[in-house]
A = this chain, B = another copy of it.
């Protein structure tokens, strides 16, 4: 049995392919009786339109692209879990599909982008984890493909994005530790090529300055956004002649590593060394002790981004929007108690 197509229905009913198409498409220039006959036959054959053909004709794909940064062999960061879920949910309610790509190891990231974007695979893209002079943004800007971004970049902001206010966030967290009586607050910072590292560090230094605390370069160490990196940095920091009494990190995963190292060295997280993370992934609440961190509405942000993207894909030509998220500080036991 041949796959049902417009042609097979056309043959079966005696109407032309055009009429079948228009009947199925709900146009009003087809007789009710005819339409019924065609719909019946379509149902009988189990017809469903061939997406590729339709999209080739319409030059649209009803698909949104998302490329996962190839940080590790397995993207173990729950951040992405939530983010993808948000995007997926937003896409689904808007009637779009989500095309998920992970960078292949043997090809460059830009190739992956080109492959997807190259006329036809997706109607729009979602970007995450912006970098300095992000080549992906330059490329997408150049191709005119609609896209939205979680994060900013340093160049002109002529694109739509949502970003956490990293300056305010890190300042908030640093202040919190200062108010808890800490003087030596270390920062296991995100890798410097990531755009948000800059903002976070700015916030860190601003809080120190505001409270007339000296900036100690020994206490600022950049690492990767992994638990392992957190462990390594903690070792370095705790081996200092004057170790810090509080350690903040680029994300919760790093914070977990820091906590583990502290505990392995026989110290207590909170009472001996306070720890602060970033993201508020689910585990942050469950780990012991609970992790003080900055809450990011990751899921909701994913949804919002898709909403914005869908507007753009539907031809809304309003100027790009820039949305800055206000940080929310979540205080848990890893802060320890207020000091003298």
Contact = CB atoms under 8 A, between A and B. Distances in A.
Interface of A: 3-4, 48-53, 55-56, 61, 63, 68, 73-76, 78, 80-82, 84-86, 88-89, 91-93, 97-105, 114-116, 118-121, 256, 282-283, 286-289, 299
A4 B143 CA distance: 12
A84 B86 contact: no
16 contacts: A48-B115, A48-B118, A49-B118, A50-B120, A53-B56, A56-B56, A74-B82, A78-B78, A80-B81, A88-B100, A88-B101, A89-B102, A97-B101, A97-B116, A283-B283, A287-B287
Nearest to A52: B56
B68 A74 contact: no
A88 B105 CA distance: 12
A119 B48 contact: yes
Contacts of A98: 99-101
A131 to B, nearest CB: 21
B52 A61 contact: yes
A74 B86 contact: yes
Contacts of A97: 99-101, 116, 121
Q: Which of A76, A105, A120 has the most CB of B within 10 A?
A: A120
- In the A-B complex, the 3 residue pairs with the smallest Cβ-Cβ separation, listed nearest first, are A288-B288, A48-B118, A81-B81
A73 B89 contact: yes
Contacts of A119: 3-4, 48, 50-51
Contact of A286 (B88, B120, B256): B256
